[in-house]
Amino acid sequence: MFNVIGLLKLCAVMFLSHVDCFIHHHLDLEGYISQSQGIGKNEIKNILLPVDHCAADSRTWNMTYVQNLEFWKPNGPIYINIGGPYPYIVHTKIFKKGFFLYDLAKETNGALFGTEHRYYGKNTPLDLTKTENLKYLNSEQALGDIAMLIKYVKTMLNAENSKVVVVGGSMDGNAGNLAAWMRLFYSDFVDAAVSLSGPVLAKADFKDFYEIVGENFLKYGTPGCYDKIAKQFTTFQTRLSTPEGIKRFKEEHLICPSVDMSKKENQQVFFNNYLSAFNIFTFDAIDGDAFKVACENIIFKDISFNSKLLQWQSDYIVQDGHGCINDDFDVKFNTSIKDPWLYQMCTEFGSFPSTEEGKHPFTNSLPVEYYYKACEVQFGPEFGKKRVEDGVKATNQMYGGLHPNVTKVVFVNGEFDPYRKLGVTENLSDDAPAFVIANSGRAVMLYDKDSKNKEIIEAKKKVKTLIKKWIGL
């Protein structure tokens, strides 16, 4: 039986074309299972799943997942690490000694599984060349995939009495959201959940994002770093206002000669790429020293910083003998292969980080209209601002935004993470606690090995204690 409260919520939004998914979703796995060869203790396997969980549709696709039964004992708990917008290989990197989930499985004689989110791995329900093919890329379908894997795993292990804990947390994407929403709509399948850095509130224009990025550099960077960043961005804007300045700017930042940097949308591609480097520092930081290092060794040494940008923006590099960055808006977004994460942002989550408002050092370099236009160019004219706003509204209605009606879910966010502004940071109830890890970045509790950061160490202990209590250990 499905979560009754969840169904009532869904009935309230039945005007949405896709919400029947939870009600009519079937879990008959007969004929759907296949698996590939295992590789070591972290085995790479596959399961055939429906392309569409919400309708009578015979099409299937081959979802990859990771399995580790190193510590499994009968009736032990089953841990499902939910994949975000990245390939399955991430799971194999953290299903190792010293990482949170591996150590928890060892302590509790548990089994470890890691899912690969549909459309983000080698195997996809449909190819990425047509926007129409992406209509099966949404959170409802992803939750259905996880539910079917759980049912199969319990059958495979003969573990009908085992407790199931889902964990979600990613440097980008919605894995933390999916963990909480699995408890919301599949409470009969999931006994407890850990939502790490989950921006459960959908928001079209995420104006707070860069204010927090700026705060991190102001609070933890070297003296004067924040002001230097502000001066740097002001200089960028000044140079991009004249032909002579543009010529110098392109040379300094390794921008391909063919790119017309007098066009505002091309300038915005540059700023989006450049700002992404600041975001990476913010997400990856396991303590405040990371910002000092960024200020001293990378940000204000232009050559090394541009080299980093070349590495991070490799998809847009034109190899012409020396390499240059192609900051052309049409080249980036008018592509034959569609970007699945951009699609989910344009249709479900929004959360576009803009610089139009807020106190930060990055000037008004990246307006939200940049993203709306990107949605239109990539997926079609009907995917503009209204589609984004409608999708955001529907997502919040369906899942409850900052107040999902859940129990036995712990919400964990990091101080440095801008997305904590869209996450649950205060207790919803005694059985749905929330806290922010001081001096830490995005989902680092999951990805940091043998941390020396005392706040992260304490957070791991706290979450382990909660999980063990909720599953009766």
pLDDT single digits (tens) 55-74: 888 899 999 999 999 999 99
Mapping DSSP to helix (H, G, I), strand (E, B) and coil, where does residue 8 land? helix
Q: What average pLDDT does this structure show over 271-290? A: 87
Can you tell me whether residue 140 is helix, strand or coil? helix
pLDDT band per the 50, 70, 90 thresholds, residue 245: very high
Residue 35: helix, strand or coil by DSSP?
coil
Cβ atoms of 348 and 139 closer than 8 Å:
yes
Distance CA 22, CA 244 (A): 58
Q: Which of 171, 93, 195, 178 is nearest to 144 (CA)?
A: 178
**458 vs 87, 436, 448, 452, CA distance in Å?**
30, 12, 13, 11
**How many whole angstroms separate alpha carbon 343 and alpha carbon 142?**
14
Q: Identify the CA nearest to 114 among candidates 169, 72, 76.
A: 169
Beta strands at 43-50 and 317-318: parallel, antiparallel or unpaired = unpaired
CB 171 within 8 A of CB 181: no
Question: CA 105, CA 42: separation in Å to the nearest integer?
Answer: 13
The residue written with tokens 């009736």 in the block is 75
Q: Which two tokens stand for residue 386?
A: 């209204």
The DSSP output letter for 428 is S
User: Is the predicted pLDDT of residue 407 greater than 50, yes or no?
Assistant: yes
Spatial distance between the Cα atoms of 225 and 289, rounded to a whole number of angstroms: 13
Least confident span in 60-69, 193-202, 323-332, 355-364:
323-332
Q: Which tens digit of pLDDT belongs to each residue from 164-176? A: 999 999 877 799 9
Reference 175, options 83, 99, 95; nearest CA is 83
Whole-number Å distance between alpha carbons of 323 and 274: 17
pLDDT at position 308 is 54
What span, in angstroms and rounded, lies between the C-alpha atoms of 349 and 392?
Answer: 5
**What is d(CA 421, CA 200) in angstroms, rounded to the nearest whole number?**
10
- The domains of the chain are located at 4-201+402-470, 204-393
Window from 353-362, 380-389, 403-412 with minimum mean pLDDT:
353-362
User: In this predicted model, which residue has the larger pLDDT, 251 or 132?
Assistant: 132
Any idea how long the chain is?
A: 473
DSSP string, 337-374: S--HHHHHIIIIIEEEE--SSSS-SSTT---THHHHHH
Q: Are the beta carbons of 446 and 196 closer than 8 angstroms? A: yes
- Decide: 399 and 200 in contact? Cβ < 8 Å: yes
What CATH number does the domain located at 4-201+402-470 have? 3.40.50.1820
Confidence of residue 16 (pLDDT cuts 50, 70, 90): very low
